[in-house]
Amino acid sequence: MQPDDHVCLCYRVSLRKLTNYMKREQPSVPSQLSECLGAGTGCHWCVPFLTRLHRQWQQGDDPDLPISPQEYANRRGRYHRSGRRDEAAERGE
């Protein structure tokens, strides 16, 4: 993903916003990322991805998701149609 691609599609929260939030606020747990414009509080699709980003940040890595925005949106569409997360989403991939 590129910095301005949205991780939370419900509230249009970008990777850049989340990264800056983590640098500024130093969240101790992934759930605190919801304080960044409501990320993860809509359909909950992005929660595993937010957890992954938080883990990367805590390890000192640059938060990133190795997925194209189109594939990410496609997976979210499948999630909505099925009513459950797929295994890749559960792993934050």
What is the per-residue pLDDT across 2-60, written as a single tens digit (0 to 9) for each?
999 999 999 999 999 999 999 999 999 999 999 999 999 999 999 999 999 999 999 99
Q: Yes or no: say if 43 and 85 are a contact pair by the CB < 8 Å rule.
A: no
Single-letter code of the amino acid located at 21: Y
Print the domain residue range for 24.
6-91
Q: Total structural domains in the chain?
A: 1
pLDDT digits (tens, 9 = 90+) for 30-46: 999 999 999 999 999 99
The answer to whether residue 1 is domain-embedded is no
Task: Quote the pTM value.
Answer: 0.88
Q: Yes or no: say if 9 and 46 are a contact pair by the CB < 8 Å rule.
A: yes
Q: Yes or no: say if 38 and 8 are a contact pair by the CB < 8 Å rule.
A: yes
